[in-house]
Structure 1
Amino acid sequence: MTKILMIEDDLELAEILMEYLEQFEMSITVADDPYMGLSTLDTQAFDLVILDLTLPGIDGLEVCKEIRKRHTLPIIISSARTDITDKVTALENGADDYLPKPYNPRELQARIMSLLRRQKGLLTTEQLPQKQKAFHLIEEQMRIDFQGKELHLTAAEYGILAYLIKKEGGVVSREELIYNIEVISEETTNKSIDVIIGRIRQKLGENPKEPLYIHAVRGIGYKFIQ
């Protein structure tokens, strides 16, 4: 039985979705209060979360960020908000999928199954012997080794590269780098971030047109992969 937590304050919609999904051996727990939802996640085991964005007390984007800090389970955003900024922010905050309302419950069920298959594949991969990674982050020494040798980085270069390594595989916006790295001033421009990224790439011997590790995501920021 697949266990799903639905954080949704529209109880009529939640009831419709619950009845439909239960046909597919999915057990649905509904929390119409976001704080109750977070508490439930911390005390019970679930396979997936369906999260609305317009919630009482706290915005769903913040709830998504908080869930991702504590848990690795898949998150599907189910929201009537269709603004591209909300979609991008949700994905940056750790959501795995974004389904705009209204939608057919059958599509939700298909997306749930797709994410669960992907999650199962990731777990299987994690059980295999891991290849040696090119980067080794040693935070207590503020040091990053690359291919077995220490990289000589400025404080800003270290901060950005360390942040990207910790967010490996996820898209990181320039604004996120500016506001989450202490040595970078909040007045720093996006262009300055690009310049620092360029210096890091030079030290890695990367060709920005054919990057191996730091990939530009048009209009948003960067993604680190190794």
Structure 2
Amino acid sequence: MNRKVLYIEDNLKIGSWVKEELEQRGFTVQWLQSGEGAEQEVNRHEIVILDIMLPGLDGFTVGRRLKRAAPAVPILLLSARTSVNDKVDGLQFADDYLTKPFHTDELVARMEVLIRRRSGTYPGRILLGTHIEVDQQAQTVYDKRTGDEILLTGKQHQILMYFLRHPNQVLPKEQIYEAVWEEAYITGDKTLMVHIRRLRQKLERNPDAPEIIETLKGIGYRVKL
């Protein structure tokens, strides 16, 4: 079965190489050299590969428009930019971020993860630590030790689901805050920290020694799967 990819890249050399590599691996690739017309095409595809540096509208603007037009279609950003700020900006709407130069094996591996996640071929339940189980379809959280559902507030639930959409990734606090609250993070704001602490109280066996939501001092947080 051919898997359809919308690929947006203005560099002819890179674009030709990536398109050829993907087609050799069984993908059907529609290659656009700018974001023009992409919103009309996105729902026909299983995944979008989007370069940030584009003529006219940049990749950030194009990506936000595509995510509004087709929220369920995953977006994989490609960029030569490596700064944390660029990654934070990109992951506000994108599902993954790959820096150039890259090997096509890594590109395809990341694509496969995003496509499987979208199609629901991942297990219906995710185990966090040794005792927390998340039912992705029902959007519910359980304590395996008791079988009881753990009730989360709206923001706690959004934070946890954001972590699960970015498993094993170190997420800067600014990125999490802006994705969940949909407003700019103000340096020194403790709102996210308070919500993380309360979420840990519900999920962790020992909130003072968390095993599920890790803190990376000075950087942010990570949930390992």
**What is the TM-score when the length of structure 1 is the normalising length?**
0.65
SS state of the match for residue 214, structure 2?
A: strand
1:33-90 Cα offsets, whole Å, 9 max, x none, are 2242232112x1x243221001234332343445455344554332232334323443
AA of the residue aligned to 1:82: T
1:10 maps to what in 2?
A: 11
C-alpha separation in 2, matches of 1:190 and 1:13: 41
**Structure of greater Rg:** 1
SS state of the match for residue 49, structure 1?
A: strand
C-alpha separation in 1, matches of 2:62 and 2:218: 25
1:28 maps to what in 2?
A: 29
Rate the CA distance shift 1:16–1:214 in 2: closer, same or farther, 3 A: closer
AA of the residue aligned to 2:87: K
Q: Give the aligned CA root-mean-square deviation in angstroms.
A: 4.1
C-alpha separation in 2, matches of 1:55 and 1:73: 20
C-alpha separation in 2, matches of 1:124 and 1:47: 14
SS state of the match for residue 124, structure 1?
A: coil
Deviation at 1:197, TM superposition (A): 2.7
Deviation at 1:187, TM superposition (A): 5.1
2:156 maps to what in 1?
A: 161
Deviation at 1:7, TM superposition (A): 0.7
SS state of the match for residue 54, structure 1?
A: coil
Deviation at 1:167, TM superposition (A): 1.7
Instruction: Note if contact 1:159-1:181 (Cα within 8 Å) is conserved in structure 2.
Output: no
Deviation at 1:161, TM superposition (A): 0.8
Deviation at 1:176, TM superposition (A): 4.3
Instruction: Note if contact 2:88-2:175 (Cα within 8 Å) is conserved in structure 1.
Output: no
Tell me whether 192-201 or 4-13 shows the greater mean CA deviation.
Answer: 192-201
1:1-226 pair list within 5 angstroms: 1-42=2-43, 44=44, 46-68=45-67, 70-91=70-91, 93-101=93-101, 107-108=103-104, 110-119=105-114, 122=117, 123-126=120-123, 133=134, 147-148=148-149, 150=151, 158=153, 160-169=155-164, 170=166, 173-176=172-175, 178-179=177-178, 180-181=180-181, 189-202=188-201, 206-223=205-222
Structure 2 residue runs of 5 or longer lacking an equivalent are 128-132
Rate the CA distance shift 1:137–1:115 in 2: closer, same or farther, 3 A: closer
Q: Which runs of 4+ in 1 moved over 6 A?
A: 134-138
Structure 1 residue runs of 5 or longer lacking an equivalent are 139-143, 152-157
C-alpha separation in 1, matches of 2:110 and 2:216: 23
Provide the aligned length of Structure 1 versus Structure 2: 206
SS state of the match for residue 201, structure 1?
A: helix
**What is the TM-score when the length of structure 2 is the normalising length?**
0.65
Instruction: Note if contact 2:3-2:28 (Cα within 8 Å) is conserved in structure 1.
Output: yes
AA of the residue aligned to 2:42: L
Query: Identity of paired residues, percent?
Result: 26
SS state of the match for residue 5, structure 1?
A: strand
SS state of the match for residue 121, structure 2?
A: helix
2:130 maps to what in 1?
A: none
C-alpha separation in 2, matches of 1:86 and 1:115: 19
